[in-house]
A = this chain, B = another copy of it.
Amino acid sequence: MIGQNEYYEGKVRSLEFANAQGKFTVGVMEPGEWTFEAPTREWMILTRGSWDVKLPGSDQWKTFGEGDSFQIEGNESFTVRITDTVAYLCPYT
């Protein structure tokens, strides 16, 4: 079953799946500033576009480009700032 998620009134959407490699979401985020809570460890891999990220415990924006990734531990939140729509892949545990 491919799950479907929607956040922030549809400005962020993702598809959820699992395979032999593990659990994943793939998603799209429109321009805006979006905060997410990660319930478990996850990795955000940018597949198209760029974004600025406020990592957990940081008050500084850090810029990531295509192919870049960052890791989030469980029960942490992070914020992304997007000026042009991006696509991402998110393996999670």
Chain A residues proximal to chain B, CB less than 8 Å:
1-2, 4, 10-15, 17-21, 24, 26-28, 30, 47-49, 84-87, 89
Q: Which residue in B13, B20, B26, B85 is a CB contact (below 8 Å) of A84?
A: B20
Question: How far apart are A88's CB and chain B's nearest CB, in angstroms?
Answer: 9
Residues of B within 8 A of A10 (CB): 1-2
Residue in A11, A27, A30, A85 with the greatest tally of chain B CB atoms within 10 Å: A85
CA distance A10 to B15 in the complex (A): 11
Residues of B within 8 A of A14 (CB): 15
Q: Contact between A89 and B47 (Cβ–Cβ < 8 Å)? A: yes
From DSSP, what is the main secondary structure of chain A's interface residues?
strand
Q: Contact between A86 and B19 (Cβ–Cβ < 8 Å)? A: yes
Q: Contact between A2 and B30 (Cβ–Cβ < 8 Å)? A: yes
Residues of B within 8 A of A85 (CB): 2, 17-19
Question: How far apart are A6's CB and chain B's nearest CB, in angstroms?
Answer: 9
